[in-house]
Structure formats: C-alpha cells, structure tokens
A and B are shown apart, each in its own frame.
Chain A
Amino acid sequence: MAKKITYASAMDELRIILEKLQTEEISIDDLSTNIKRAEALLKTCKTKLRDVEKDISSLIDSK
C-alpha cells in the first residue's frame, strides 16, 4: 500500500472495488486480493476519520 494515501483516494479505490463486487465483475482469483485491499483501505479511512474527529473535538474544547 502507498505510504501516505489520502482519505479521498482511499475512498475512491474502495468504491471501485465495491462496484466490482456488486456487479460481480470480480473473478475468484482476484476476490481475495481485492477483499484484503478493501479491508486495509477501510481501516485507513476509519482511522483517519477518528483522528480528524479527535482533532476537531480537542480544538473545540480548547476554546
């Protein structure tokens, strides 16, 4: 995985995988690789979201 992926590009990639999954364009050979990648991206997104949330609440609290 790229070292510093942005939230937006992680989300874009997730959506592409999701579309493949939903239209069943994905082959069994690629399924596992794609799912692993999607889980990693999801984790990245969630972590980033949580960090932003923490940052914002600490900004608001410090007022």
Chain B
Amino acid sequence: MKSYSLFELNEYIKRVIALNFEEAIWIKAEISQVKESRGSVYIDLIQKDENGDTVIAQASAAIWYKSFLFIKKKLGELTDSILQDGIEVNVKVKVDFHERYGMKLSIEDIDASYTMGQVEINRQKIIERLKKADLIDRNSMTYLPPVLQNIAIISSETAAGYKDFVAQLADNPYGYSFNTTLFHVAVQGRSTSSEVTAALKEIHSRDEDFDTAIIIRGGGSKIDLSGFDDYNIGHAIATNKVPIITGIGHEIDLSVADIVSHTYLKTPTAVANYIIDHNLNYETEILSLSQQINGEVANHLKLEETTLNQIEQVLRFKPVEIVKWHKNKLEHVKNDLNQSTRFMFNKLQEELKNTERLIASLRPENILKKGFSYIETNKKIISAASELKKGDEVKIVFSDGKKAATIK
C-alpha cells in the first residue's frame, strides 16, 4: 500500500486548487472576525444556514497590503465600515493553498454596493416584520414625561457621541440637573444586537427609574449603523415601557431603531438639545401659567375691593340721606299741622264771634230798644191774647221802664 507524506498530499491539493482556480472569483459571505496586522487584514468568512443559526461554511481570508491599499483608495471610509464582523460581503478572492498554512482566500476587491444592498434588504425585511407585528408606533405611544431628568443612556463609554451628549446636557444654560445611567454596549459589530437588546430589557424592567432611555453613537456610514437594523433591537425598543429616543448619527436613511423609537434625532448633541428644550418648554409653560394665575388673582382681588368700596360709599351717604328725607317729611307734617291748626282756630273764632253777635242781637233789651215791648203779669210773660181777660192788670215792659195797664 502506497503512503504519501503530508507535504506530498498538501502539494497535490495545492496543484489541484491552482489548476481549478486559475482566476480570482467573486464569492458572497459574512465576515465573522477581522484583525489588522502590519498593513494586512485577516478575516474569517462564514456562511450561515437559511435561519441564520448554524454556520455551514467557513474559510480564512486575507487582504494583503497591496490589495488593501487598492481597496482603501477605491472605497475610502466605507472600507472600515464594511470590514466589520456581521457584515455581508461580495468579495473577489484568489483561492490559495499553502502546504503548511492550508487554504487561504486572498481578497483582491470588495463590491461595496452588494453590502449596501444587503444592508438595505435586511432593513426592509425587519421593518416589514415589525409592521406585521404592529410594533412600529408602539413606543411612540408611551408617555414621555414633561420633565426628563432620569435618563438611561445606551452607548459605548468610549464613543465620542456619548461624551458630546453628557457635555451638552451638563452645559445647559438653565441649570437643569440630570441623573444619567450609562448602559455600556458595543455600538458597532456583531455584539451590538445582543448587548443593546439586553440593555433595553433591563431598562424595561426598571421603568420606574427612568423618564426616558436614549440610544446614541457618533456618526458613521450606513453600514456602520447597520447594527441598529436589527429585529431584536427593534422589538425591544417597540415593546419598551420607557420612551426611547435615538441619536445614532444617520445622515439620510433611518435605521430600524429610529423607526420604532418614540423620537429619533440625527446626533447625540441633537438628543441633548431636544431633552433640554423639552424641559424648557415645560418650565416656560409653568412660568406662564403662574403669571396668568397671579394676574387673575390680582384682578379678582381688585374687583372685590372695588365692590366693597362702592358698598362702603353707599353705606356712608344713604342712611344720612334717608334720615334727612324723614326729617324733611316730619318738618312738612309739622308745618301742615301748624297751618291747619291756625286756620281751624281762626274759623272757630270767626264763628264764635258771629254767634256772639247773633246772641247779642237776640237779647230782649236789645229787641225792646228797637221799639218792641211785651206784656207781663206777676212776672210772667204773656205770649198769647187768650191768656188775658177783661179787667186783668198787666204791665207793659219797654226798654226804658214799665207802664201799668188794664185790659178792657
């Protein structure tokens, strides 16, 4: 039985590979690990099954110094964004086999548009899934308190965005103080999903402690932010009891995290300004209400005072007026009384005089003076002829004396 040495075997494999892979080919894979060393980049490429659970293929790849220079020149800043674990790539590789180091894929070119497209497709898929679960507007319906003071921050403590945010909050010109709690997470790469989701779940369970939770990171390319195009993060934001505000540095497109959040803003600084303005609005409203109340109270008191003063005025003059009126009336009555008494008196006096005169004129001596006379017998006045008979002795009384006479 013929036996080969390991070297012979590997040399054979190398020849087979060299024969079959003369030209570089384009392959699609996911980056699982990236390491840069002395100008070259070492990458683990993997492929997962349809469910994304199990790794079904794996290979080591490298971008050698020269190719790396070429790629960097072509893609610029996107290079770093793409060369992250968890990123789907379409790369042009030369399949190499070394007798000692085994198979290595030498990456010569990267198709950035594929990655961008994958990111977008992934984003759309997640959005669709969240829409179906009716989760898009769920967090925006949570109650955002009028004062935001206890703030949970999901970020990386080394991220520039985090420092900007804390500085911006602390420098607020209104003297508002904030209690911030940092939930340190990776904001880029494979562990973004699990760490951000775990932080969101903890915040959800401590909802009494926080007025809001914010997710921030500094700017980056669309691919950099693709960590936030994640179903688990989206779900944990949407279902959170705490209102979530994002400031994850997007330029044009919104990430899944932005879409399901209560409020999304472009940058961490914008989030800080939003929180400060939110509190300022409340304070302004309170101040204006307090001014309104003061004004109303002052008006009300003034009105009552005016009424009391008017009543006092009436009380001062009205009783005097009433008394005066009664006094006048009394005076009139008195006058009337005097006048009518006098009139009555005069009238009575006049009547009295007339009567007196009449009485005087009727006195017998006065009648006798007028030439009348009367006859008497024994002091009895005779008023009828029948009372006398022949021979009676009578006296005729005149005003100046009596004369005796005999009836014939």
Taking beta carbons and an 8 Å cutoff, which residues of A are in contact with B? 11, 14-15, 18, 21-22, 24, 26, 28, 31, 35, 38-39, 42, 45-46, 49, 52-53, 56, 60, 63
Given contacts A21-B319, A31-B319, A45-B308, contact A60 B294 (CB under 8 A): yes
| Cβ–Cβ contact B308 & A31, under 8 A | no
Give the distance in Å from the alpha carbon of A54 to the alpha carbon of B198 in the complex.
Answer: 56
| Cβ–Cβ contact A31 & B322, under 8 A | yes
In this assembly, does B314 line the interface, its C-beta being within 8 Å of a C-beta of chain A?
Answer: yes
Interface size on B, residues (CB 8 A): 18
For the complex, would chain B's binding face be called helix, strand, loop or mixed by DSSP majority?
Answer: helix
Name the B residues within 8 Å of A38 (CB-CB): 311, 315
Name the A residues within 8 Å of B304 (CB-CB): 45, 49
Give the distance in Å from the alpha carbon of A38 to the alpha carbon of B323 in the complex.
Answer: 17
| Cβ–Cβ contact A42 & B323, under 8 A | no
Q: Quick one: which of B293-352 are within 8 Å of A by CB? A: 294, 297, 301, 304-305, 307-308, 311-312, 314-315, 318-319, 322-323, 325-326
| Cβ–Cβ contact A49 & B301, under 8 A | yes
| Cβ–Cβ contact A26 & B322, under 8 A | yes
Q: Which chain A residue lies CB-closest to B315?
A: A38
| Cβ–Cβ contact B301 & A52, under 8 A | yes
B323's partner among A14, A22, A31 (CB-CB below 8 A) is A31
Give the distance in Å from the alpha carbon of A60 to the alpha carbon of B304 in the complex.
Answer: 20
Shortest Cβ gap from A10 to chain B (Å):
10
| Cβ–Cβ contact A21 & B326, under 8 A | no
| Cβ–Cβ contact B314 & A18, under 8 A | yes
* A–B Cβ pairs within 8 angstroms, 27 of them: A11-B307, A14-B311, A18-B315, A21-B319, A21-B322, A22-B314, A22-B318, A24-B325, A26-B322, A28-B322, A28-B323, A28-B326, A35-B315, A35-B319, A38-B311, A38-B315, A39-B315, A42-B311, A42-B315, A45-B304, A45-B308, A46-B308, A49-B304, A49-B305, A49-B308, A56-B297, A56-B301
